[in-house]
Every structure is written in C-alpha cells, then in structure tokens.
Structure 1
Amino acid sequence: MKTYRIRKPKIVVIGGGTGLPVILHGLRDQSADITAIVTVADDGGSSGLLRQSINMSPPGDLRNVLVALSDMPQMYEDIFQYRFKEEDNFLANHTIGNLIIAAMSEMKNSTYEAIQLLSKFMHVDGHIYPASEQSMTLHAKFSDGSNATGESVIAKERKKIDYVYVTNTADGKPVKPARKVISSIREADMIVLGPGSLFTSILPNLMIKELGEAVCKSEAEVVYICNIMTQKGETEHFSDAEHVKVLHNHLGKQFIDTVLVNTEPIPEDYIDPDVYDEYLLQVKHDFKGLRDEGCRVISADFLELKDGGVFHDRAKVVDELFRLVFGAKY
C-alpha cells in the first residue's frame, strides 16, 4: 500500500545492476517523485548481444528498472522478465523484455525514446532515463599499469582497479548525459547512489563528466548505500570507507553526505556460491575512515536473506531515506 504525503520528495537514484530495482520498488510504494538514472555500460549476456547486433544501448538494467517502477499485474511482469532457455538456439538467454526494448529502440531509432514510450505503456510511476543516449564503453586502469576494456571483462581480471572511465562506444569520444538527466539532478531533494557494483554499476554514470559535476554541485542530500558484500574482481577485501574513498577520488571531491551501512552479520555458509558466485566476504566496517571522508554514518540492520542470497531490506532502507529527506528539506 502506498503512503501519500502532501509533497512528494524528488529522489534521484543513480546506478544499475540488481540492487537498484530493489530500492526503486520500495520508493515507489512510498509515493516519492522518483527519477532513475541507469547505466548503459553493460556489454555482457543478452544486453551485450543486442547492443552489438542492432547498435542500441544495453537494455537489461533499463528493463529491470521499468519492472520495478511499473504497476502492471504480476503475470505481465513474469512475461516481460521471461528468459529463454540456453538450448533455444539464437533466442538463448534473451529475455522477452530485452527483445521488446530492442524492437522499440529500432522503431523509434532511440533507446531513450523507447524507454519513455514503454514507461507510459507499463504505467511506470516515475521517470527512467539512461545515463547517456548512446552506448558507452567502460575502461579500467589497474594498479599494475595494465588496462582492460568492457564491463564484462574488468572483474574477470581479478586485479586492483586504480580508476575507471567511459567513452562513447561508437566513436570513442567523451560521453554526454541523456536529456533531462542534469535537470533532474539539479531539482532533486535527495540523490541516492547504489546499492550496486562500485566500479561497474555506479561509477560508469558518475564518469560522465557533466553528470558527475552535477552531483558534486547539487545542494541535495547525497546518500550512498554501501554494498553488504565485497565483489570478486572489484572490491575484494574493501571496507565501507574504501568504497566511499574510491567514489571521492574519482570525482576529486568529498561529495557524499551520508552512508547507509549494514551491521547485521550474515550467517556462516548461508550464501549459495553456485548462484551468487561474485560475492566474497561481508564488507568490513571502518567508521573512523567514513568520518574522515566527511560522511555521516547510519549503521543498522539493513539485511534481508532470501533464496541463498544477501540483499538490502528495501523497507528498512527506504524508511531511512525518507527520514533523511524530510529531515533535510522540510
């Protein structure tokens, strides 16, 4: 059931991956004025194949956000999210939703326009914008001086990442933000980063120069939802403070106001390694390090255990976000 207020707070959520839809779904239920800014750097799986085949922005993260903010019946959602089996020849591993977004992108000659049209069709409560209207390629420079190109490749290197940057996939030039992205950030009461992969879901958006600058200049409360688990090939052995330090170093400024940190321990041997093979260890806490980065720290039990996986409890996280946004603005 939605909670209605006289004034909906304008909350911009930036990221990608599987964590973003969880938070968006919770915000939708609280009747916020939501804008999701979604990464378009994915080059693996169904998204990667479609991106190569018809020169479109990768649809996977956009598809999951559409579903999270839609009020369509569960049966429609199940159809939209259905993934073909591996043995289904050229349809193998594609989701119906990805194929629909691909078709609409080709019809409208724009993934941006396709998402706006699908948002109306699916009764989306909020705004969904790809971070850029062109596909972008993620690059990483490692601490040993080597480089890697491609979101799906970087983590497989299992090397310490010094920094990441993005280029326009088509011509290698700097990436421009999509329409309405910058104005949404400027008008926001709160900007939420994550949860999601630090180097491959969150930073690709912030590495779009104008987008990152807009977040740094914003007067809104900037909240980072720290991951619960470290990730193979990205944040191995990272503390929560190290996550924040990477974000600050990339943008050259201490721009995060508040960090949400889960303190509930995960039961030993709970995680199913066959399904969640990218998870390593629970993120270590360094509260002094977070304060040294200029952040207010909110630590609590934000943990949800489900189906052998570790997730953020969306109700608890969203309750905290609303306490912050109303305390800061009203």
Structure 2
Amino acid sequence: MKPKIVIIGGGSGLPVIIKPLVKQEVDLSAIVTVADDGGSSGLLRNYINIVPPGDIRNILVAMADTDAEFLKVMQYRFDAKDDFFAKHAVGNLIIAAMTEMHGNIFDAVQYLANFMHVQGHIYPVSNEPLVLHAEFKNGNTVAGEAEITHAHQTIDHVWVTGDEPGEEPKAAPEVVEAILSADLIVYGPGSLFTSILPNVVVPEVREALQLTKAKQVYIANIMTQKGETDAYTDAQHLLALNAHIGMQAIDYVISNSEKVPDDFVDFQKWNEVSNQVKLDEQAVVVQGATQISGDFLQLRDAGAFHDGQKITEELLKILEQC
C-alpha cells in the first residue's frame, strides 16, 4: 500500500512541491483553502457566490497528467483590455461553470480531477466559501484575506466563518478522513496566515490534526511576507502554526539555509517587500520539532523559491521513519 501524504495550503507555493511528489509512489492528497477573496477568484466569488477557484485551479494543473496545451489554457489569463473577462483565468471560469453544473465545488473538483487524470486527490477544505478574519497585535480586527494582506499590520491570530453572519465553517468529510488516515502531513510552502492557517482553523480540521497519528512537517518559507510575517524566524512561523492547531503538533521543520543573493529578488515584480527568513534551531527544538536545514533554494524568475525535488527527497526520508 502506498504511504499517504496530505499537503495543506493554498496560493502558488504548493505546486512547487506537488509536481515532483506526484511522480513518487505515494498516495497524495491536497487540502486547499477556500477563503481567497482577491483577484479573479474574488470577483467570481462575489458575482456568483462560489468557492474561490484560483488555488484549486493551480493544484489541479500541478497534479494533472494530461495534455500540456490544455493545462496552458487552464492557466491562461485574459488580457487587461478584455472588459468583463479582464485578468480572469480560463480555469477559474471552467471551475465556476462546473460548480453550477454539479451543485457544489467538491463534486465539481472531483469530476475535473478525473477528467484531467489528476494523480492523487484534491479536496477543497469546505464546500462553502469561507471568510478569513484576523486580529492584529494592536487589537484591531479585519475580515477578508485581501483586506488582511493590505492592512500591513502584525497579526496575532486568524479564524474563519461562513459567508453568512454566525455561520459555522464545516469541513468536507473527506478532508477529515484524509488527515486521520495520513502517514505524513505537510504544511506549505505558502503564506502562513492567508494560505495555510485558513485550513487549520476550520474546527473539524483542527481536531483531526490534534488526533492524527501522522508525522507532521512544516516547510518554512524562504522569505518573510510583509503584513504577515515581517522579521519572523522559522521558529516564529512554527510557533504561530502550533498555536492555531492548539498543541505542539509539528515534528519536523524544513528550513532553507542557503543565502538568497543580495538584489536578486525583484520585489517590484512580486509586489512584495521581504527579507530572508532566519533560522533558529534552538527555538524550533524547544517546541518539540526537529529542524532539517540545507540548501533548498531555487532562484528563478527574479524570485526565491523552494527546490521542489530536494524538498521531496527530504519528505521521503521522513516517510521511511514513519
């Protein structure tokens, strides 16, 4: 039987490690956030009240074994001058249409996953769009992922609600089952407060993460993120993750120790102001985790990314110990 790996997150970070992982002899499941409310996803969410499709689209493409030209179409964005379609990704529109046809996002994604020959499983964390809330260190609160990011304040903690006031967020049953039956759970890489934690703080997911027998691994970000993790070390990322899970759940932290060359990252291109995440092994160990550090850096497109193949090799080594 193939070992079961569950990856939790969203955004553009997950595909970096998913692409090499799907080539391994593992049973891979991706749990994806549904709290995005910016860009094309946010517009579709507001227009037709569906789960935001952008993160799901990226994971579908990363895990698919289908025609490369079709995958390019899925990722294609209309030109900014195309009026209503401006900047919408074709894949987002397809997912929106399939959601209307099937009546919910979960069944729509399963159909598309089968159609695209996805190597593994893709589970939206909830069948309904969720609203992300944050309380900042100064006591102010904000609702909405985009608003949280744009506030550029130090976050204390986050939580999610349903779209309607007082609506309790519900996890898809398959999400809970995947976590409880996993051999290895991997968080990230990705934005800590707006991609990873929106999954973790769904009550049924948090409870499953506390109960699972799986080893749990956090892939520490290479760079800090303005308004989310300014000046955070890898241990501070870990502290926030454990706090939101409600216990010291993480067994391993994979941290990049290779220096990002000065002036390599084009912060204007990536609309970001950040610094390289510093390592603090002692503080990681205090939280009951083992730090795995090394050169996991890939420099491309004027940005600093994880080397997915090297990360995969480390995950497989951990799996051997499970």
2:31 paired residue number = 37
1:290 paired residue number = 284
Moved over 3 A (4+): none
2:124 paired residue number = 130
Secondary structure class of the residue paired with 1:281? coil
2:272 paired residue number = 278
- The one-letter code sitting in structure 1 at the alignment partner of 2:311 is V
Query: How far, CA to CA, are the matches of 2:50 and 2:132 in structure 1?
Result: 16
Q: State the Cα distance separating 1:94 from its structure 2 match.
A: 0.3
- The one-letter code sitting in structure 2 at the alignment partner of 1:244 is L
Query: How far, CA to CA, are the matches of 2:112 and 2:54 in structure 1?
Result: 14
| Matched-pair contact (CA < 8 Å) for 1:135–1:170 | no
| Matched-pair contact (CA < 8 Å) for 1:231–1:278 | yes
Q: State the Cα distance separating 1:305 from its structure 2 match.
A: 0.4
Provide structure 2 residue ranges, at least 5 long, that are not aligned to the other structure. none
Query: How far, CA to CA, are the matches of 2:30 and 2:281 in structure 1?
Result: 29
Query: How far, CA to CA, are the matches of 1:31 and 1:69 in structure 2?
Result: 14
Q: State the Cα distance separating 1:18 from its structure 2 match.
A: 0.6
Query: How far, CA to CA, are the matches of 2:162 and 2:153 in structure 1?
Result: 24
Query: How far, CA to CA, are the matches of 2:246 and 2:123 in structure 1?
Result: 25
Query: How far, CA to CA, are the matches of 2:273 and 2:175 in structure 1?
Result: 31
Query: Which of 275, 291, 305 lines up with 1:311 in the alignment?
Result: 305
Identical positions, percent:
50
2:173 paired residue number = 179
- The one-letter code sitting in structure 2 at the alignment partner of 1:324 is I
- The one-letter code sitting in structure 2 at the alignment partner of 1:92 is A
Secondary structure class of the residue paired with 2:249? coil
Matches within 5 A, 1:163-202: 163-202=157-196
| Matched-pair contact (CA < 8 Å) for 2:210–2:246 | no
| Matched-pair contact (CA < 8 Å) for 2:209–2:245 | no
1:191-239, CA deviations, whole angstroms, 9 ceiling, x for partnerless residues?
A: 0000010000000001001101111211111000000000011000001
Query: How far, CA to CA, are the matches of 2:26 and 2:61 in structure 1?
Result: 16
Q: Number of aligned pairs?
A: 322
Query: How far, CA to CA, are the matches of 2:127 and 2:223 in structure 1?
Result: 31
Q: State the Cα distance separating 1:171 from its structure 2 match.
A: 4.2
2:293 paired residue number = 299
1:98 paired residue number = 92
Query: How far, CA to CA, are the matches of 1:105 and 1:75 in structure 2?
Result: 23
Query: How far, CA to CA, are the matches of 2:243 and 2:14 in structure 1?
Result: 23
Is residue 140 of structure 2 the alignment partner of residue 149 of structure 1?
no
Provide structure 1 residue ranges, at least 5 long, that are not aligned to the other structure. 1-6
2:152 paired residue number = 158
TM-score, normalised via structure 1 length: 0.96
1:269 paired residue number = 263
1:15 paired residue number = 9
Query: How far, CA to CA, are the matches of 2:97 and 2:293 in structure 1?
Result: 44
Secondary structure class of the residue paired with 2:156? strand
2:56 paired residue number = 62
- The one-letter code sitting in structure 2 at the alignment partner of 1:187 is S
1:29-69, CA deviations, whole angstroms, 9 ceiling, x for partnerless residues?
A: 11310010000000000000101111110000000000010
- The one-letter code sitting in structure 2 at the alignment partner of 1:146 is N
Q: State the Cα distance separating 1:173 from its structure 2 match.
A: 1.6
Query: How far, CA to CA, are the matches of 1:198 and 1:38 in structure 2?
Result: 13
Q: State the Cα distance separating 1:274 from its structure 2 match.
A: 2.1
Query: How far, CA to CA, are the matches of 1:70 and 1:126 in structure 2?
Result: 9
Secondary structure class of the residue paired with 1:137? strand
TM-score, normalised via structure 2 length: 0.98
| Matched-pair contact (CA < 8 Å) for 1:12–1:191 | yes
